[in-house]
Amino acid sequence: MYEQISHAVLNEILSSFKQPAGKDWHYFYTRLGANFYAIYSLFQHLYGQREDFKPQLGRLVEVLATQYAQRAPHLRAKDLEREKNHDWFMQQKWVGMALYSQGFAGSLANMRDKLPYMQDLGINLVHIMPICDCPAHENDGGYAVRDFRKVDARHGTMEDLEQLIAAMQQCGILLTLDVVVNHTSDEHAWAQQAKQGNQTYQDYYFMYPDRTLPDLFESAMPEVFPEQAPGSFTFNADTGKWVMTVFNHYQWDLNYTNPAVFIEMVDIILFWANKGVDILRLDAVAFLWKKIGSSCQNEREAHLILQLLKDCCQIAAPGVIFIAEAIVSPTEIIKYFGEDAINAKECEIAYNATFMALLWDAVATKRTVLLTKGVEDLPEKLDRATWLNYVRCHDDIGLGFSDKAIIEAGFEPVSHRRFLVDYYTGHYPESNARGFAFGVNKKTGDARISGALASLAGLEMALQTQDLLAIENAIKTIVLLHNLILSFGGIPLIYYGDAVGTLNNDSYLQDENKMHDNRWVHRPTLDWEVMARRHQPGTVEQRIFSQIKQLIAIRKETSAFADLNNRALITQDNPHLFAFHRYVPSGMHANVVVIANFATQAQQVNLQPFKQRGLFKARMMTDLCSGSTISTEQETLEIPTLTAYWLSS
């Protein structure tokens, strides 16, 4: 919008602006003019009280122009294409995979040879876990960055990455990379300058000469890792100051009350956008703003920073979108799309951690009451926003569903969470799961869960005992969980190795840098001889891979699976069943009913609730998953053990 004050400031900035060399500047100026009122307003709210407000704002515009000038022609063309098709990422054709390049292929260079595997499975969006340069030892799995513009030598070189990006673009595969926006390694150049007493860079962090302010901060801040990294400040002997370290002592939190930090991060984000990255995963966004007397999580200013990042990116690289890495409650996560808006104005994509945890609850209890209650409580997302739905990821499983939902499902919150931890660590009598408790809080008894999908689903135990029924049920569980993330609504994100039933890997215990973090048990190094079994009929790997591959192919052809706020939950009397309706006005399979059975016995579903909604009008329906024809003339329908139907007429 046009607003006199902000545009007077813009005119002042542009009057002394030296335009970098390049063509097509009218797109830059059009986007800058359209976004500048929002940028000015946000920047003024965050930094308007500073004497250097206008010079910093001018510096921000300079960074945007420089990065725009460096954007390659084919990326500018992609920007224009995606501006015309602004909901491109919400289409059902996208299916993602998250992986570590070393664990998946050994290196970025080797990943080029593994692209046929992606194409075989149907993957066309790949999230490569952190690859930026980080210290050899204290690096938090790559999330303690030493250099944001350098590829870590353990993964390869920038040239390797550029060649991989070019190959992925030829295959039509999107790339997602991480930008760790909340903190740096204490070995980052900024931190090194701060340690040497450079006040400019000490102002990039939260550094205090005594415990007065740290104590005030910590009085309201929950500990992220209470056992391994208690407290939120670390004493730095080089400076004699206390440094804010919310996660680990070697991860220094960035101070976003300093506009120079924000501008540095814009520059870094656009650097990676110009490398050809399609989606940027912004790590730890809930922690971006620190305020004494608050939890220093989910602060309003953190959202304003994300809005400002989005507005800036839309000027220089509008085809790039953001993922919010914020594993928080549903009422908080929905805010990372943007409040008081129709379309996403912060991040277009967010992790649906609640749905993931609810699925694991249903697997353990064989009941779907909590799953249904939890999904009912999920706030409706914005129109131009979508979820990442996943079964497993590189992180632990947090039991983040609300106490209210647990109580409404008929459980007591504390004892139910303890049951789930016992179940997935194999300490519950009827459990075949083989996982590990992570982040145990001895004060509260809370814990999270580590473990590979297949091991948590019982496959590891079943193979050890050669229990054929248990093997069958474990395979069905793995496929069922993937069935639901593929159909629920959003972008399904498959974790590497899960499509062939990769088990827990305890080799991390031999590495002194990893042995104290049991999350490495589900961060495997893939054995490609084992992976090759996916082509051998009758193997566990083939049985899992072939079914997931088929589901992916069917999803891509099913128009109802586009994510357009087009899902209606259908409550069931049978506590073992979970059902919902996906729909669009037109297209192939515009109406699909998903009915899932989490029990280890076949279950009857009452069809009346569906028919009352105008569904199942045809006498015969097709289960898209199997291609079989199913009669709906009777009052009930049988859903087999650990199976989900996709029913369409």
Query: pLDDT digit string (tens) for 521-531?
Result: 999 999 999 99
Residue type at position 363 = V
Q: Taking Cα atoms as reference points, which of 263, 268, 271, 277 lies closest to residue 69?
A: 271
Least confident among 104-108, 259-263, 488-492, 584-588:
584-588
C-beta separation of 316 from 251 below 8 A:
no
pLDDT for the residue numbered 570 = 96
Residue owning tokens 């409040």: 339
CA separation (Å) from 575 to 484, 579, 605? 17, 11, 10
Q: Taking Cα atoms as reference points, which of 28, 89, 87, 97 lies closest to residue 62?
A: 28
How is 550-607 classified by DSSP, letter by letter?
Answer: HHHHHHHT-GGGS-SS-EEE---SSTTEEEEEEE-SSSTT-EEEEEEE-SSS-EEEES
pLDDT tens-place string over residues 176-206: 999 999 999 999 999 999 999 999 999 999 9
pLDDT tens-place string over residues 390-418: 999 999 999 978 888 899 999 999 999 99
Q: CA-based Rg of the chain, rounded to a whole angstrom?
A: 25
C-beta separation of 285 from 327 below 8 A:
no
Residue 305 has pLDDT above 80, yes or no: yes
Task: Considering only residues 255 and 444, tell me which one the structure prediction assigns the higher pLDDT.
Answer: 255
Three-class DSSP category at 534 = helix
Question: pLDDT confidence of 630, banded at 50, 70, 90?
Answer: very high
pLDDT for the residue numbered 360 = 98
pLDDT for the residue numbered 196 = 98
User: What average pLDDT does range 564-589 have in this prediction?
Assistant: 94
Residue 214 has pLDDT above 90, yes or no: yes
User: What average pLDDT does range 124-134 have in this prediction?
Assistant: 98
Positions annotated as catalytic residues are: 283, 325
CB proximity list for 639: less than 8 A, separation 6 or greater: 577, 595, 596, 597, 602, 603, 604, 605, 645
Mean pLDDT score of the chain: 95
Residue 421 has pLDDT above 80, yes or no: yes
pLDDT tens-place string over residues 579-608: 999 999 988 899 999 999 999 999 999 999
Which structure tokens are listed for 259?
């506009």
What is the maximal distance between C-alpha atoms in the chain? 79
Question: pLDDT confidence of 28, banded at 50, 70, 90?
Answer: very high
pLDDT tens-place string over residues 47-65: 999 999 999 999 999 999 9
How is 158-226 classified by DSSP, letter by letter?
Answer: HHHHHHHHHHHHHHT-EEEEEEE-SEEETTSHHHHHHHTT-HHHHTTB-EESSSHHHHHHHTTPPPSBT
Residue 32 has pLDDT above 80, yes or no: yes
Residue 548 has pLDDT above 90, yes or no: yes
**How do beta strands 349-351 and 241-244 pair?**
unpaired
Least confident among 103-107, 343-347, 643-647:
343-347
| Separation CA 374–CA 401 (nearest Å) | 7
User: What average pLDDT does range 611-638 have in this prediction?
Assistant: 94
